[in-house]
Amino acid sequence: MARLNSPRRILLSEEDFKIHPVWTWDDEHEGYLPISEREPSPDNYDILLIKAQFITNDHVFQGYLVRALLDNSSLREFRSSLAACGSLR
């Protein structure tokens, strides 16, 4: 799968999401890579981290949607990586 030439990130920041609103966990499970609009369907990725806006009748929340399609072992590894960084920074 093609990836942007942007450097891999260990921690994602709000600025990273302003530049690239969709990220995936890299194949080595050591960091995150941005996904461009020209890449294959999001269904081709196990992990997606997406900048999102959630709207209710009274509020607008800025946040992130995480989609993970992983086996139990990989899911535990991914959760550990998120816990290690304390959350998105």
- Domain positions in the chain are 14-85
Does the pTM of the predicted model rise above 0.75? no
Average pLDDT of span 13-36: 86
Q: Give 39: exposed, middle or buried? Use CB within 10 Å, 0-12, 13-18, 19+.
A: middle
The pLDDT of residue 40: 65
Average pLDDT of span 61-83: 75
pLDDT by residue (tens digit) across 44-68? 788 888 899 999 999 999 988 888 7
- pLDDT at 83 > cutoff 80: no
With beta carbons less than 8 A apart as the criterion, state whether 79 and 66 touch.
no
